[in-house]
Chains A and B, each alone.
Chain A
Amino acid sequence: GAGVSQSPSNKVTEKGKDVELRCDPISGHTALYWYRQSLGQGLEFLIYFQGNSAPDKSGLPSDRFSAERTGGSVSTLTIQRTQQEDSAVYLCASSPGLALYEQYFGPGTRLTVT
């Protein structure tokens, strides 16, 4: 079956603009995660969803970042008033349930803020 998909694959935006990044998880996966990966760096946890609710928003870097998930499926990560330090690859992952399950990652969205 289809894996996790993310769109767009690349996004170049001007500083100060808002951007929306989309994640389509594997069908039936109840858990969904967003991570940020700066060039050559590790995975920075941003937010986690179980169903449509986000019990843990502690990783969001600032109030310019928000995320939602609808229908227990598609998720959107929104960054308002983008800054150059927001430039990174944003990865989405889904899993069948609890953290003890394998996470399936999408290919990521490369965001460049100019």
Chain B
Amino acid sequence: QQQVKQSPQSLIVQKGGISIINCAYENTAFDYFPWYQQFPGKGPALLIAIRPDVSEKKEGRFTISFNKSAKQFSLHIMDSQPGDSATYFCAASMRGYQKVTFGTGTKLQVIP
């Protein structure tokens, strides 16, 4: 019940296209959903995060869409650029429970 399922495992998108990564969870007690971006040889870094009281959050070219009833959330990268090529992890956590549960990651490659 603590799992966060992430798909796809890998994704190839052309420059200028839209990259979409999906995550699903079971535990309705989760109340914080961050996305992390990891470049090769680096640690993950927070990209954007959402709480379940909103259905969408946008920061620049990155948007999180959140569907509370379906227990799903997704990351959309608009106008994808080669510099966006990285591994993306969704995650979930809940108040009073210190551990953050990470998805399995999506390796994104944006080709020119």
Q: Which residues of A contact B97 (CB under 8 A)?
A: 99
Interchain CA distance A100-B100 in the complex, whole Å: 8
A67-114: which residues lie under 8 A (CB-CB) from chain B? 91, 93, 98-100, 102-108
Q: Is the CB of A100 within 8 A of B41?
A: no
Interface size on B, residues (CB 8 A): 26
Interchain CA distance A103-B98 in the complex, whole Å: 11
Cβ of A82 to closest chain B Cβ, rounded Å:
22
Cβ of B49 to closest chain A Cβ, rounded Å:
7
A43 within 8 A of B: yes
Q: Is the CB of B46 within 8 A of A102?
A: yes
Known: A42-B104, A45-B99, A56-B98. A105 touches B43 (CB 8 A): yes
Q: Is the CB of A42 within 8 A of B103?
A: yes
Q: Which of A91, A102, A106, A107 has the most CB of B within 10 A?
A: A102
Q: Which residues of A contact B89 (CB under 8 A)?
A: 42-43
Known: A48-B98, A107-B41. A100 touches B103 (CB 8 A): no
Q: Which of A41, A102, A105 contacts B105 (CB 8 A)?
A: A41
Cβ of A44 to closest chain B Cβ, rounded Å:
9
Q: Is the CB of B104 within 8 A of A103?
A: no
Cβ of B87 to closest chain A Cβ, rounded Å:
9
Q: Which residues of A contact B100 (CB under 8 A)?
A: 33, 45, 99, 103
Q: Is the CB of A105 within 8 A of B98?
A: no
Q: Is the CB of A4 within 8 A of B43?
A: yes
B12 within 8 A of A: no
Cβ of A103 to closest chain B Cβ, rounded Å:
6
Q: What are 18 A-to-B residue pairs whose CB atoms are below 8 Å? A: A31-B98, A33-B100, A41-B105, A42-B103, A42-B105, A43-B89, A43-B102, A48-B98, A48-B99, A50-B98, A91-B44, A98-B96, A99-B100, A103-B36, A103-B44, A104-B46, A105-B44, A108-B43
